[in-house]
Structure 1
Amino acid sequence: MNEIAETLPPPPPPPPPSRRLGPLMSLAMVVGTVIGSGIYVLPATLAPFGANIIPAFGIAILGTCCLAIALARLARALPGGPYAYIAAAFGDRAAFVTLWSYVVSQWTAVAAVAIAAMGALGFVFPAIGSGWPLALCACGAIAGMVLVNLSGARSAGVVQIVATVIKVVPLLLVAVLVVVRLGSGTPLEPLAPAPITAQAIVSACALMLFAFTGFEAAAVTANVTEDAGDVVPGATIRGTALVALLYLCSTVAVLWLLPSAGASMSQAPFADAIAPTLGNIAGAFVAIVAAISALGAGNAIILLAVEISRAMANAGDLPPFFARTNKAGVASGSLLVAAGVAMLLVLASISDSFVAVFTFVSLVSAVSALVLYLICACAALKLRLEKPALAVIAILYAIAMFVGAGLEATLWGVVLALAGLPLRWLSRRRNGLA
């Protein structure tokens, strides 16, 4: 493995220790990135499936954990993050296509979570719930993410810890309410009376597949993590397992607190489940937490995009501007590009005719992230860093995620991944690497 590492491009110089992510921050990057805004509507989408969601969660948890283990073993064996892993297994061209696809997905995701955050706040402040006010506030939120990240990865890590603590409150609260209800002798609501079938399990699993994306956050930020070889693998596995258990417990708890017919029609299932205890403030409480959750995820996502862009620029695959750093060791060039693209997407989404397009682009964004999962699982198998059985499960799970996304979104993801090759060719010619 040392021989492979010697053939890779040198990693970018790490920021000073005071600016790096610590173990708790690395764990928060995983948990805070996975828990975005999707979990707050997941119980409503899963309610009609009844008891099928239990085995579906088992499949989703097993597949995601296998992918997380593959990333963890790659992180332990090779420094430099996903670019190094893929380049070692399949060459630098494959590494570029995979990570360019991932960067595009992160640029789009930053815009999506900013809009989601302002949309949630629109429940409390209706004036910013749509149109130009929503777009301007979303752009302001992106500017705030830039300011946090310009101060260094450690500042982003502190924000991530705070946001993560806040966003898990409603997830834990519904579980507590279930315990209180059992203690009072009040029966729980039954799950929907749906027969358990293979088709229903697969359909339910497809709905929760994308809720688990983001577990790669620790591996992607390895270059700005203190003692990354020891910290990143543990943060990846523990963070993924923790989120999986939170998702399972909180989703089932909501469905035990709400009648299945009402849960499937609810636009805010967590708020409806908490309302009998908190009263009218339940909706505002969950809306504010959902906004914080989305912004926390956006804070992590923009850092992921920056680190991947810097790795590609350091390898000569992107213009040097993407690798330019400030005094805090932050790739400010990559940060500004990520924020600029995200703001343009936000402004474009104002048009009524763009809404459907933007929704589809968000799905394509998720598909583009799946490319990273699949190729990293294959890299772990090829480099013999993963047990064959676990690697095969991870690969099959990643392929299932593509199937769940649909053919059209998958094809667009492939097109966007290949669209970066001309930029790579120009950059390598300029850098004398063509």
Structure 2
Amino acid sequence: MTAIVEQLPPPPAPPPPSRRLGPVMSLAMVVGTVIGSGIYVLPATVAPYGINILFAFAIAILGTCCLALSLARLARRLPGGPYAYIAAAFGDRAAFVTLWSYVVSQWTAVAAVAIAAMGALGHVFPLIASGWPLAFAACGAIIGMVLINLPGARSTGVVQVTATLIKIVPLLLVAVLVVLRLVTGPALEPLAPVPLSLGATVSACALMLFAFTGFEAAAVTANVTEDANDVVPGATIRGTVLVALLYLVSTVAVLWLLPSTQAATSQAPFADAIAPAFGNIAGNFVAIVAAISALGAGNAIILLAVEISRAMANAGDLPPFFARTNRAGVATGSLVVAASVAMLLVVASVSDSFVAVFTFVALVSAVSALVLYLICAAAALKLRLEKPVLAVIAILYALAMFVGAGLEATLWGGALALAGLPIRWLSRRSSGLPA
């Protein structure tokens, strides 16, 4: 293992301790990145599956935890983040293809969450609900993310902790309302009367798969985390388990508070679930929290994109511009590129004809992120850093996520991953490195 580590490109110089993520911030990176805007509509999408939801959650939680364990083992044994893990197991070319795929997915995700956040605020401020006002507001949100990231990772971490504490409020609130209803109110609503079946369980699981993405956030930001070898594994595992339990409890709680037919057609299931207790303010409250949740996730996602881009530039796989840093140790070149691509996507999405395309690109973006999960799990297996059974479960789960995404999105994701190879060839050639 020591010989493998010595062959890897040196990681970028870490920022000073005052600029790094602490243990709580690293945990918040995981929780805050996973909990984006998707959880607020998840109860509606899985409502028609009844009792199958519980078994689907069991599969999703098991698979996600196995993937998280693989990343945690890698983080404990190898410094340098995912680039180092994959390069040690499969070589630097495989590391580039995997990480290029991932960084493209993060660029797209920044645009998606900015639009989602401003779309949620559109319920409170109708002026920015659609069209160019929505696009301008989303671009403003992206600029805000850039300003938060410029002072260093700790600035991002502080915002992430705050946003995480806010975004879990409605998730816990529905659970409290269930307890109060058990004590003082009418009986809980039954789940949809659907028989238990393998097909329904798999379908429900497919809807949950992407709601759990983001648990890699601590590992990706390892280079800007204080005592990363100790902090990152714990943050990855604890964050994944915490989010899994929050998702399970809050989703089932919403379905116990709403009739299954209403839940399945609700555009804001959390708002509808708390409306009987809080009245008309429920919708605005959940909309504002959903916006904060999406912006918090975007704030973390842009940091992930920056750190991955910097790692690739440090290895000579991207132009040196991507590794250029400011006094706080922030890779400003990567930050500018991430924000610029995201804003271009936001502007392009204004066209009515682009909406369907943008939705599909977001799905391709999610598929591109899955490449990282699959290859990291395989790396843990090859390097014998994970128990074979757990690593195999993680690999099978990642493959199932591709199946859930569909063939077309998967093929596009593969094409985007390979599209980075010419950029790598040019970058390494201009730097005098072997291609």
Q: For this structure pair, what is the TM-score category when the shorter chain's length is used for normalisation?
A: over 0.9
Partner of 1:286: 286
Structure 2, unaligned stretches of length 5 or more?
none
Is the aligned partner of 1:391 residue 2:408? no
1:19-418 mapped onto 2 (5 Å cutoff): 19-418=19-418
TM-score between both structures, scaled by the size of structure 1: 1.00
Q: Report the alpha carbon displacement of residue 412 of structure 1 after superposing the two structures with TM.
A: 0.2
Deviations 1:121-140 (A, max 9, x none): 00000000000000000000
- In structure 1, what is the equivalent of residue 420 of structure 2? 420
Amino acid at match of 2:32: G
Aligned to 2:10: 10
Residue 432 of structure 1 aligns with which residue? Answer: 432
Q: In 1, Cα distance between the equivalents of 2:118 and 2:64?
A: 29
CA–CA distance in structure 2, aligned partners of residues 45 and 333 of structure 1: 39
How far apart are the structure 2 equivalents of 1:385 and 1:321? 34
For the residue of structure 2 that corresponds to 1:353, the secondary structure is helix
User: CA-to-partner distance for each residue in 1:281-309, whole Å, 9 max, x for gaps?
Assistant: 00000000000000000000000000000
**Distance in structure 1 (CA, Å) of the matches to 2:410 and 2:69:** 25
Amino acid at match of 2:273: A
Question: What's the % identity of the aligned pairs?
Answer: 85
Give the aligned residue type for 1:144: G
Counterpart of 1:291, as a letter, is A
Rounded to whole Å, the distance in 2 between the matches of 1:229 and 1:388 is: 22
- CA–CA separation in structure 2 for the residues paired with 1:88 and 1:65: 23
Give the letter for the 1:152 counterpart.
G
Unpaired segments of 5 or more residues in structure 1? Answer: none
How far residue 416 of structure 1 moved from its aligned partner, in angstroms, is: 0.2
CA distance in 2, matches of 1:396, 1:250: 27
One-letter code aligned to 2:401: M
* Cα distance, 1:186 vs structure 2: 1.9
Give the SS at the match of 2:247: helix
Separation of aligned partners in 2, 1:69 and 1:243: 15
The superposition leaves residues 314-372 of structure 1 with CA deviations (integer Å, 9 ceiling, x where unpaired) of: 00000000000000000000000000000000000000000000000000000000000
Matched residue of 2:249: which SS? helix
TM-score (normalised: structure 2) = 1.00
What code does the residue aligned with 2:413 have?
A: G
Rounded Cα–Cα distance in structure 1 between residues aligned with 2:186 and 2:358: 44
Moved over 4 A (4+): none
- 1:44-74 C-alpha deviation (Å, 9 max, x unpaired): 0111000100010000000000000000000
Structure 1: which amino acid aligns with 2:161?
I
1:95-147 Cα distance to aligned partner (Å, 9 max, x none): 00000000000000000000000000000000000000000000000000000
Please, what is the CA RMSD of the aligned residues? 0.4
Amino acid at match of 1:398: A
Q: Provide the secondary structure at the position in 1 that maps to 2:309.
A: helix
2: CA distance between counterparts of 1:344 and 1:369?
A: 20
Name the SS for the 2:15 alignment partner: coil
Amino acid in structure 2 at the alignment position of 1:320: P
The alpha carbon displacement at 1:185 in A equals 4.6
Distance 1:265 1:87 in 2: 46
Residue type of the partner of 1:401?
A: M
Distance in structure 1 (CA, Å) of the matches to 2:425 and 2:409: 26
* Corresponding residue pairs, total: 434
